[in-house]
Structure formats: structure tokens, C-alpha cells
A and B are shown apart, each in its own frame.
Chain A
Amino acid sequence: MTTDSYALHSDDHAHDTASHGSLKSYLIGFGLSVVLTAIPFWLVMTGVLDDKQVTALIVLVFAAVQIVVHMVYFLHMNTRSENGWTMMALIFTVIMVVIALTGSLWVMHHLNTNMMPMHDMSQMP
């Protein structure tokens, strides 16, 4: 009885860790990331769009999509592996990263704009 459940368990674990991709999924991931890398570089290098803000926004969106593509096709992220614990850890990390990044940028931006006007560094000898 106990050996049975033991064998079942180890079988379970083996299935958990064996979430590899196939040749097809690797090639799809590679193709997508080539396109998702090439377009932002092309946008910035040629300066097709006059508005820099719009270009920056598009570049950021492409980066976000490419990160998801890498996560799915190269790192084989899914909600099932390790009983969902990898996904839980990822979600927690993403929340922490978002708080750290937006918090720092937001606070420091306000600090900068509320500073007393200082002497212009570029005018210094």
C-alpha cells in the first residue's frame, strides 16, 4: 500500500518536472522574438514615427509581449507545473517588481519636480 502510493507520488513528480517544449514550440518562440525585437530596433533606429512618446510606448508594449513569449515558449511557464507553485512565485515576483519600479519612479519624479530650482549644471565651467 505504502509503496504503491510512493510510486504514484514519484510518478507525479516526474510528470511535473518534465514540461519541456517541442521543436515546434521553440521555433515559434524564436520566430516571434525575432519579429518582436526587430520592430522596436527598426522604429528607434530609423525614427519612422515623429512622436517620441508614441515610439517609446510602442517599444515598451513590444518588450512586454516579448517577455511573455519567452516565458511561455522558452521557460515553459504554465499553471500546472509543480502544482502551480512556479506560477504563484512568478505572480508574487511580478507584483514586487511592479511596486518597486513604479514606486521608485513615481516618488523620485515628484521629488525632482518639487525640488528648488538649482543652478544649471551645464553652465558650470
Chain B
Amino acid sequence: MAERKPDEMGYYDQEELVQIDYDPPRSGWMDTPVDFRPGSWIYPGKPRHLEYLGLANPRQWSPTDDDWQLPPNWKEIIFEGMRERLDKYRTFKIFMDCCVRCGACADKCHFFIGGGDPKNMPVLRAELLRSVYRRDFTTAGKLLGRFAGARELTEDVIKEWFYYFFQCTECRRCSVFCPYGIDTAEITMMGRELLNLLGLNVNWVIEPVANCFRTGNHLGIQPHGLKDTLEFFADDIEEITGIRIDPPINKKGAEILFVTPSGDFLADPGTFTCMGYMMMFHELGIDYTWSTYASEGGNFGLFTSHEMIKRLNAKIYAEAKRLGVKWILGGECGHMWRVVQQYMDTMNGPADFLEVPVSPLTGTVFENASSTKMVHIIEFVADAIRNGKLKLDPSRNDHLSVTFHDSCNPARAMGFFEEPRYVINSVCRNFHEMPENTIREQTFCCGGGAGLGTDENMEMRLRGGLPRGNAVRFVQEKYGVNQLACICAIDRATLTTVCDYWAPGVQVTGIHELLANAMVMKGETERTLNLRLEPLKEEPEGDDV
């Protein structure tokens, strides 16, 4: 450091002050290798889960290792994998070719907005894959190399893919703005499929997949555990309402099979939402059943490969057939509905052995589900409320000021905007929307979807959760919002953390928790507790006794 005194100009020059590197890399994106900083990447899949699923190259490894122990012919595997997928999936081929790099998607990703890393711009994230495609699958790329945006596949490129394809939550906000309709999430999905061929995946995805394959749900809850769980929920419900519910499990011949994400069985605040489903079903008196085998609405296969989506999803139809139900009702989940709406029917359907769903209460035919035979619970309950089938006392939720987070997949994969708002407005009286450019089809992701919801990448999650958290804080300060409602189990888990950091004081809830608190059940005792077993009314302040 040059000899300067503190009162001299130049003492505080950027270059000299504490000799730290202020500057981001100035090299081009193709030549800037990934720096695996703690807090931004996820632990790799454990070998036993890969072995269980028959996936490639099970081994102990870490992204911070120099040697990732790739198979000797790893390049060949990737090229062959790309070739196979380019032939098999027309969308993949089109998405590799048709981007004109207009930049419409560039500033739409919550990770880019939160962190400023250009490789989180969806266009550049896709270029990570396209550059390899160009060099080895297009004439221009073969001849012109870098001039045509092509580059060689190296181990550093594979590391970069791993880093960035597991920094995409497949939320598809960028896709909304693409004039060519490129579904950027499918590019990430392809990137992850290719990585899986080399045994590169994350434990937060692959363990749930293995669990689900073995037991029917991501958590690995076995049949007796699920039965006990629902019965314990019933105990809590009895304490709150005085009504004893006997949840039907694996009931053959029931009219409806109900499937929800297993997070609702274990993690707060999803557990309260699960109690809400049970209370609603009981009150409406419908003929339904839980299943201990199709006990997972989510599908982490979506974050692994198309084949894996199919393997896990098939369980739902198989169980529906075994039990002989007429149709399937699905709970508050996010990516589950991307699978149901856009993949299930062509992967495992059409489910001709089931009937077109009809509400037993109102006779409403759910024609939108006439092929998949699977209805979203919010549609179902909105129809019930609309037809006066539930008695509601929204004043019970008067202490809450609620906003609604459109979960990415129900919003962008289903176009599902009005039904949740209708139900919320029926069960509470203080509802405030977040700013327009952060909701509905433009909704911001929680930052933890697509298998990113673990804790070791917390900095990355909070970075990605900033745009959502910022909008929540805005309505918190402007309207006194203290409750964020959502219809996704990942949201219920991850937005709790996002709010705790960016908008402390805002709690997260599922819509069925709000509904069940407002629902006046036949024969209930006077409610003094909400579903969280908290007193409904503040204790009056006075002298201690």
C-alpha cells in the first residue's frame, strides 16, 4: 500500500483501502468459473438415495471438491443425453434454437433482482446450455465457435450448470414475458436431467424422491405414522371445536381420493392447513378418503427428470384405481399443479377409469379437470361457499389483516387467480393486495421452490425472496398486514422465513386454516382457540390474581 496519511487524498482509494477486492469479475461470462460460496449451494444427493432409485454414479462428493468424480466418459454421456432429448422433446429443440436474446426475460428473475448475478438472468442461464448445444449440434457453432456463441464443454461448464440450474426455482416468471413463449423452467429441467446422468443432483430433491418412491410421500411417513398423525390432528380439532372427526383412510369405494403435499402432515404452519381440510370435509359430509400410499401431492420428480415425474405421479392414479374412487381432489400445493395440469395427463393418463369430477354438494361439473380427473381444493371449496354450503363467520378473523401470495405454479401453470381471493374474502374482512406487478401472473417466487427450500443455501433463498419480501413489507407498513396467505406447501415453509427476515411480524397461513377458523360447524362448542391453539381473544389486562 502506498504511504499515505489518513488526511491525504487517495488514502481511501478503492484499491488501497483494507486491500479488499471491490470489483466483480471483469472477465466474460464464458471465462468466469463458479465460486462455490457457502450459503449459495445445496448439499449433493447421498449415494444410498441414488442407488435406491437406480440413478447414475452414486458416490460421496461435494461441490467444493476439485474432483467431482465424474464417469470417465462423462462428455460422451452429456452429448448422447442432449441428442436423445433434442430428438424426444420438441420443445427442448425449439427453445435451444429460437431465442433471439431480446432481453425481455433478463430482469424478471427474483435471483437476479436480489443479487445482480448476470448468470441468474434467465437468458444467460439458458445460454449456459445453449452455448454447448451450438458448438456441438449446429453448423454455425461448429464453424464459427465463439463468434456464434458456442463454447467447449468442460468440467468447469458442468460445475457452472450445477451451480445455476440449482439456483432456478422453475417459477416461470420469466416465461410470462418471453415473446417466443420459451418456457425457461423446461430449460432448467433439461439441465438437471443432463446433470443427473452424471450423478449430479442435490439431496434436498433426491432424498424426497427416494422416500416417495418407497413410502408414497417425500417425508417417508409410513402408513401407521400417517394414520396416527391424522388422529392427533383430530385430537386438536376436538379440543378446539368439541367435535370428534374420524378421518377415513384407504377407504375402498369412497367417492373422492384426497391427496395433499406431505409437508402438511409435519411442518407448521402447513399442519394447521391440514386440520382445516379435515374440518371442511367433515362439515360438508362428503364421501372421501385419505391414502397412506398416495400420500404425497407434491412431486420432486419434477426437479429431477421427466421419467421421475412419471414414476412418482403414477402412484396417485394407481391408488385411485385400487380404491375404486370416482375422482381425485388435490390439496393446497404449488408444483403439484404444474405436474397435474401440464404433465400428468400425457404421462400417465388419460385416466379413463375415473369419472369427470362432479361436486356431490352442488352438482357443479369441473370440466377443466375432465381429462386429469383431478380438482384443486380451492376450486371445490369456492364452489361450496358460492352455493351456500358452508356457514362462515369472518369476524373470527378480524384480528388478521391478510394479503395473498399467488403461488407460482397455481398462478402461472393454472391461471388460478380468482378462486383463492374469493375464498379469502369470504372468510376474512381485512384483505389487501400487494402491488400489481408482484401478484397474479407476475407473482414473485418465494425463492425456495424446485428443491431449493433447504437451509444450507439460506443466503441464496433470502436473496431470491427479496422481491416478494419487499412487497410484503410494503403492505405491512401501509395496511398493517400481519398474515400472508398462500396455497403452496413450499411457500408455507419458506415464506415464513422470508417474512421473518424481510418483513418480520407477518405470519404465513394456508387458506384452509383461515377458512376453518371462520367456519361455524354444526354442533361445535364456543370457540376459544384458533387452529394454532392460541386464544381467540386477547386476555383482558388487569390486576394479577
Partners in one complex: no
> Which residues on B are within 8 Å of A, measured CB to CB?
none
